[in-house]
Amino acid sequence: MKKFLLRRAIYMVFTVWIITVIAFIVIQLPPGDYVTNMVTEMMASGTDDIDPAIIEQLRDQYGLNDPMHVQYLKWMRNIIVEGDFGYSLAFKRDARDLILERLPLTFVVTLSTVLFVWIVALPIGVFSAVRKYSLGDYIATFIGFIGLATPNFLFALILMYLSYKYGGRALIGLFSAEYVDAPWTMAKVFDLLKHLFIPMIIIGTSFTAGLIRTMRANLLDELNRPYVDAARAKGLSETRLLWKYPVRYALNPFVSTIGWALPGLVAGEVIVSIVLNLPTSGPVLFNALLEQDMYVASGFILVLSALTVIGTFISDVLLAILDPRIRLE
Amino acid sequence: MDIIPNAQQQFDVPAPPVQTHEVEVSIELASQWKLMWWKFRRHRLAVIGLIVVVTYYGVALFADFFAPQAATTYIAEYVYAPPQQIHLFRDGQLVGPYVLGYTFERDPVSFKKLFAVDEETVIPLGFFVHGESYKLLGLIETDIHLFGPQEAGQPFYLLGADALGRDVLSRTIFSSRISLSVAWVGVIISMVLGIVLGGISGLMGGIVDNLVQRLIEVTMSIPLLPIIIAVAALVPIDWSVLRVYTIIVFLLAITGWTGLARVVRSKFLALREEDFVLSARLDGVSTMDLIWRHMLPSFYSHIIASLTLALPGMIIAETALSFLGVGLRPPVVSWGVQLQDAQQINVIANYPWMLVPAFAVIIIVLAFNFLGDGLRDAADPY
């Protein structure tokens, strides 16, 4: 088990490292940099002659004349040693503050979506398998397919329209107007929970649909195994039998889905947040990418992918605990 | 953790109970493809999916013929004109299909243009009417459209008009060309990547296998969307349509190959031990030949099924990117580009017909899922 954990942990660090390199390179790609942008801004506000020597000096000061790998190492060093993510050009403040401000709500949205997906998918999946070809199974299948076929953001658009048409107001944002800038109180938390429902359903539906199908397929395989007959022959009640043996086996891929679902959920969260105007990391990251606000963008990508990779790690560990065969692999 | 590659791999529709009519007689003589067709036909939803997919591609191919108007034709007078209703009877008499014209007035408060139905103006419709001329398949010059107003130039907006007074229905039809072809090209590129990398990985084993496995793992755990947005945002405004298209297709392909690579790898791991592979190897067949000529043909059907299941993902991805404004851009018409106009809640609230392309997407994605599902079930007829 120790060896297994160690190996996974090494993979995890390795993956995060690759991601930081990719993120950094991609964001450095566009022509121009921080200083070019600053100079353009100054030109726009009326200063017409800026001494090239000063520009060079500024470049040196920000380390922009260094080759890319040196810049990368500096960036990594600052993050690891000082927790300094750099400076946001667009917001004129520390990138770290910006990330810390947006991340908790992203976390809340993603986590509650995962919970929603599990709570809905597990019982429906089990039901679909046990009552195969029943009316309920067909309904679940149908809804599942629709859920899978409807892209998140289209679902968001359609829900927005329906809520506007029949509810009188568009379900946008995570808080009601009066709570947006209010300090955290129980009332604000309650307000958040009320709004959380919509993004949770929108982001979660396609994953729920996928998971229901997975659960159903796995359980159908397990239900025909001889050990089920054996347990039944020994007089176990149907409910106990079902939950104690086949469901437990079928749960394996279910657990490993946390791993692959997370990047998808994060991506889904980005688009849905933009459509629904949620105060999560999605819209900020999106704008940072468009405006080449490099430290904010790479910071967000780094943190989000690190969280994703950690999520995968947790699911691997859970899987290993659940199923000894995987440890021995 | 290769237990479950992705959700769609596990998809199976509750198939209706097996019917054995004409099958039994000739089952021993039938070829593999024939057996697969029989099995496929039993999956009703998959057959419906196939019909829908073929229809979509047919419409896309002959878009000029099916669309009442060209994608770029606009009439400023009819900005955001609401959908018209097709009538058959007038004053209790059957007069054939017709729509009614529009009258406008200004809202006294907001100065918003309000459309109302003009009961007096009857616009008779017909099949195979003359309209704008175009070149069918780029070859034959003609002006016949499947349906439209009998007198060319009269307002005809079955699904409403958009912000520039263009026909939403016609544009949705033209969009299918770009959206469907992006998906195909993307899938083919990711197929080549997946087969080559998955094949090498499964065939060689050892360090190479380990490296490719890590590569897949990393690709799968990167939140690719931000990276794609970053790369797409780099594309200069003045790039030609074709270059933007190519970039987007490649970006989509890079995200899509991992699933197939895993399938191919596990197949190769199993096939590696087969006698026919060993004998080919002993005959001195090169690795690439071994992959493409000997091993791949033994699971073509699986690959086709996987590809069909990968297509809807590509369509959704293209739509999402274009919708966000980092994919294809106008003047290209794709479903995502059309939906860009429907981003604001006030647009959706006032002109809900702007969401029409969304339903085009949902229907084709559903159809591909059903089709792929049926193909996968049929892939192994024995």
> Using one digit for the tens of pLDDT, what is the confidence trace for A130-148?
887 788 888 887 787 788 7
pLDDT, tens digit, for every residue of B179-191?
888 888 888 888 8
Q: How many CB atoms lie within 10 A of CB A14?
A: 14
User: Is the pLDDT at A118 greater than 80, yes or no?
Assistant: yes
Residue A150 lies in a domain: yes
Assign A88 a pLDDT band (cuts: 50, 70, 90).
Answer: confident
Nearest chain A alpha carbon to B314: A151
In the predicted structure, residue A284 carries a pLDDT above the cut 80: yes
> Considering CB atoms only, which of B3, B320, B369 is closest to A153?
B320
Count structural domains, chain A: 1
Q: Write out pLDDT tens, residues B155-208.
A: 778 787 877 778 888 888 888 888 888 888 888 888 888 888 888 887 777 788
- The dihedral sign for the CA sequence B219, B251, B309, A268: positive
In a domain, A259, yes or no: yes
Candidates A249, A269, A197; CA nearest to B3 is A249
Measure in Å the smallest separation between the Cα of B92 and chain A Cα atoms: 34
Q: Determine the distance in angstroms separating the CA of B187 from the nearest CA of chain A, rounded to an integer.
A: 18
The secondary structure of B256-290, three-state, reads: HHHHHHHHHHHHHHHHCCCHHHHHHHHCCCCHHHH
Residue B3 has pLDDT above 50, yes or no: no
- Residue B352 clears pLDDT 70, i.e. is over it: yes
A15, A274, A326 member nearest B217 (Cβ): A15
Tell me whether residues B7 and A211 touch, CB distance under 8 A: yes
Integer angstrom CA distances of residue A17 from A72, A102, A316, B174, B264: 11, 23, 19, 44, 28
Distance from CA of B15 to the nearest CA of A (A): 8
The domain that holds A213 is classified in CATH as: 1.10.3720.10
Q: Taking residues B282-287, what's their average pLDDT?
A: 85
Confidence of residue A179 (pLDDT cuts 50, 70, 90): low
Mean pLDDT computed over every residue of chain B: 77
Under an 8 A CB cutoff, do A285 and B355 touch? no
From A316's Cα to the closest Cα of chain B, the distance in A is 8
Of B324, B348, B366, the CB nearest to A157: B348
Is there a contact between B4 and A253 if contact means CB atoms under 8 Å apart? Answer: yes
pLDDT at B11: 44
Closest-CA residue of chain A to B13: A141
Asked whether the beta carbons of residue A26 and residue B358 sit closer than 8 angstroms, the reply is no
Question: Phi/psi class of residue B101: alpha, beta or left (left: φ > 0; alpha: ψ in -120 to 50)?
Answer: beta
Give the model's confidence band at B209: pLDDT under 50 very low, under 70 low, under 90 confident, else very high.
Answer: confident
Indicate the pLDDT class of residue B5, thresholds 50, 70 and 90. Answer: very low
The verdict on a CB contact (< 8 Å) between B234 and A30 is yes
Best residue in A12, A33, A141, A154 for a mutation probing chain B (most B CBs within 10 Å): A154
**All domains of chain B in start order, with CATH:** 75-165 (no CATH), 171-378 (1.10.3720.10)
Strand intervals (E) in chain B: 87-90, 93-106, 113-136, 140-149
Instruction: Looking at the complex, report in whole angstroms how far the Cα of residue B296 sits from the nearest Cα belonging to chain A.
Output: 27
Whether B134 contacts B64, CB under 8 Å:
yes
Burial class (CB in 10 A: 0-12, 13-18, 19+), A39: middle
In this prediction, residue A327 carries a pLDDT of 60
Distance from C-alpha of B229 to C-alpha of B223, rounded to nearest angstrom: 11
A293-316 per-position pLDDT tens digit:
777 888 888 887 787 778 777 877
Average pLDDT, chain A: 77
Give tens-digit pLDDT for A7-66.
878 888 888 888 788 877 777 766 666 666 667 767 777 666 667 777 777 777 666 667
Average pLDDT of the segment spanning B289-308: 78
| Contact between B230 and A146 using a beta-carbon 8 Å cutoff | no
Domain that holds residue A180: 111-280
Residue B78 has pLDDT above 80, yes or no: no
pLDDT for A178: 66
For B230, the closest chain A residue by CA position comes to: A289
| Residue A171 Cα, gap to closest chain B Cα (Å) | 10
Q: Answer yes or no: is A122 within a domain.
A: yes
Mutate to test the interface with A, among B222, B228, B326, B353 (most CBs of A within 10 A): B222
Q: Is residue A316 part of a domain?
A: no
Minimal CA separation from A232 to chain B, in Å: 25
User: Which amino acid is it at A152?
Assistant: N
* Contact present, B362 and A154 (Cβ < 8 Å): yes
**Partner-chain contact A210 B225, CB within 8 Å:** no
8 Å CB contact of A290 and B233: yes
In tens, the pLDDT along A226-242 reads 888 888 888 888 888 88
CB contact under 8 A, A289 and B233: yes
Model pLDDT for residues B220-245, shown as the tens digit of each residue: 767 667 777 777 767 776 777 777 77
DSSP-derived 3-state class of residue B71 = coil
pLDDT band at A172 (very low <50, low <70, confident <90, very high): low
Average pLDDT over residues A63-73: 74
Question: What is the pLDDT confidence band of residue B28, given thresholds at 50, 70 and 90?
Answer: low
Cβ count near B95 (within 10 Å): 12
Q: How many residues comprise chain A?
A: 329
| Amino acid occupying residue A257 | T
Give the pLDDT of residue A253: 67
Does the pTM of the predicted model rise above 0.90? no
Q: Would you state the pLDDT for residue B21?
A: 52
Q: Report the pLDDT value the prediction gives residue B109, as an integer from 0 to 100.
A: 75
ipTM of the complex: 0.75
> Which residues of chain A does B343 touch, with a Cβ-Cβ cutoff of 8 Å?
275
**Nearest residue in A to B223, CA atom:** A263
CB contact under 8 A, B214 and A11: yes
Q: Is residue A177 one of the residues assigned to a domain?
A: yes
Mean pLDDT value of segment B347-362: 84
Query: Residue A81 burial by CB count (10 A; 0-12/13-18/19+): exposed, middle or buried?
Result: exposed
Closest CB to A149: pick one of B4, B13, B365. B365
CB contact under 8 A, A289 and B226: yes
**Interface mutation target, options A11, A132, A157, A256, chain B, most CBs of B under 10 Å:** A157
A-B C-beta contacts closer than 8 Å: 164
